[in-house]
């Protein structure tokens, strides 16, 4: 596969996953404002910015509705939902011949909807109104559209090398986002394990699970008994839940191995070693051992390994020299 094709499929998938993740965090936090909670609005929205990697040139000014609109609609902000959709569509346009007609139609329709002039004027008119009605309806629509795109991708695209690069982008972005989300909640859930939980804190714990679409799946494993230790165990180490870190890394490794088999790359040993080591460490880890140590340092270590996987993918499949390509 050409490097430019692999690059575009990879980033198309990452941007769509990023749009979905940002959408979900905004939706959860806007809905939490309707419930009584001891957590201040300032703390909650600062935590959201941390979970999104502290986007540049974006600061908390005390207005949650304005921040939500900025993170949703502002195209001058590269972290916004609309910016991610535009970037995903642009990458899809570069590889139009590699994806199915149904994929292109779904993504292009979403792009045309969020960039039409009438839509921009409507969001500008709502900017001065302190209400989450507009953003919430839009966020739900984006979630549905991204899920539909993922379903269309799996059902209409041949599961060859291109499809595998889409999986790599999706699960590497998801793994990175999950570690940032857990780090943002660390101070509230795991920094003081002996502290008695207040009644309203359960809303925040539910908010964390819902930020990863994990509340119902968690309850099916642990019932409705919410504890910080079990939440960490589920989101980090569950092997069957699609948004857990372990599931994401296992799926990433599987896709990378499939790409190597199809491309015949003999220089992929380093990439297999990095991804395999991370997958094995999560497979044999226990939440008790993680909690005894430094949770934040553990999450930072995973983030560094994810960044290392990204850089190795680029070196191997995208930004390689002619000599390296001839050598296999």
For the chain, which residues make up each domain, given as ranges? 1-157, 159-328
Is-above-0.85 flag for pTM?
yes
What pLDDT score does 132 carry? 54
Q: How many Cα atoms occupy the beta-carbon half-sphere of 115 within 13 Å? A: 16
> Distance (Å, rounded) from C-alpha 328 to C-alpha 326?
5
What pLDDT score does 34 carry? 77
pLDDT in tens, the chain (328 residues): 678 999 999 999 999 999 999 999 999 999 888 775 555 788 899 999 999 999 888 888 888 888 998 999 888 889 899 999 999 999 999 999 999 999 999 999 999 998 887 665 555 545 555 555 557 788 999 999 999 999 999 999 999 999 999 999 999 999 999 999 999 999 988 887 666 666 678 888 999 999 999 999 999 999 888 999 999 999 999 999 999 999 999 999 999 999 988 877 667 888 999 999 999 999 999 999 999 999 999 999 999 999 999 999 999 888 764 444 444 4
What letter does residue 116 receive in the DSSP assignment? S
What pLDDT score does 136 carry? 79
CB atoms within 10 A of CB 133: 10
What pLDDT score does 233 carry? 97
What pLDDT score does 323 carry? 45
Quick one: which of 142, 115, 163, 157 has its CA closest to 5?
A: 163
> Distance (Å, rounded) from C-alpha 229 to C-alpha 290?
10
Q: Give the C-alpha distances (Å, rounded to integers) separating 239 from 254, 285, 314.
A: 14, 12, 27
Q: How many Cα atoms occupy the beta-carbon half-sphere of 244 within 13 Å? A: 21
Q: Is 31 helix (H, G, I), strand (E, B) or coil?
A: helix
Quick one: which of 241, 248, 235, 210 has its CA closest to 290?
A: 235
What pLDDT score does 124 carry? 54
> Distance (Å, rounded) from C-alpha 235 to C-alpha 233?
6
| Phi (first) and psi of residue 268, to 5 degrees | -90, 10
């Amino acid at each position: 596969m050409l490097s430019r094709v692999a690059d575009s499929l990879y980033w198309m998938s990452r941007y769509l996953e990023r749009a979905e993740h940002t959408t979900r965090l905004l939706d959860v936090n806007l809905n939490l404002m309707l419930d009584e909670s001891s957590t201040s609005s300032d703390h909650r929205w600062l935590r959201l910015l941390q979970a999104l990697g502290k986007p540049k040139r974006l600061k908390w000014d005390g207005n949650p509705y304005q921040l939500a609109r900025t993170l949703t609609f502002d195209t001058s902000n590269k972290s916004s939902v609309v910016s991610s959709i535009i970037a995903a569509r642009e990458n899809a346009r570069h590889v139009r011949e590699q994806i199915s007609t149904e994929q292109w139609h779904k993504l292009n329709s979403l792009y045309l909807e969020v960039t039409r002039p009438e839509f921009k004027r409507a969001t500008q008119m709502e900017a001065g109104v302190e209400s989450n009605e507009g953003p919430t309806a839009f966020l739900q629509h984006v979630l549905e559209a991204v899920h539909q795109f993922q379903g269309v991708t799996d059902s209409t695209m041949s599961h060859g090398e291109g499809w595998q690069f889409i999986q790599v982008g999706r699960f590497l972005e998801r793994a990175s986002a999950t570690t940032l989300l857990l780090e943002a909640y660390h101070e509230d859930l795991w920094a003081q394990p002996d502290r008695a939980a207040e009644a309203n804190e359960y809303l925040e714990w539910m908010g964390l699970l819902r930020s990863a679409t994990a509340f119902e799946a968690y309850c099916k494993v642990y019932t409705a008994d919410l504890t910080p230790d079990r939440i960490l165990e589920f989101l980090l180490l569950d092997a069957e839940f699609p948004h857990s870190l372990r599931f994401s890394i296992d799926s990433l490794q599987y896709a990378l191995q499939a790409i190597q088999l199809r491309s015949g790359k003999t220089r992929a040993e380093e990439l297999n070693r990095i991804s395999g080591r991370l997958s094995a460490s999560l497979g044999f880890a226990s939440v008790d051992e993680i909690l005894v140590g430094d949770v934040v340092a553990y999450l930072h270590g995973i983030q560094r390994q994810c960044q290392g996987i990204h850089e190795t993918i680029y070196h191997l499949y995208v930004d390689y020299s002619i000599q390296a390509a001839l050598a296999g």
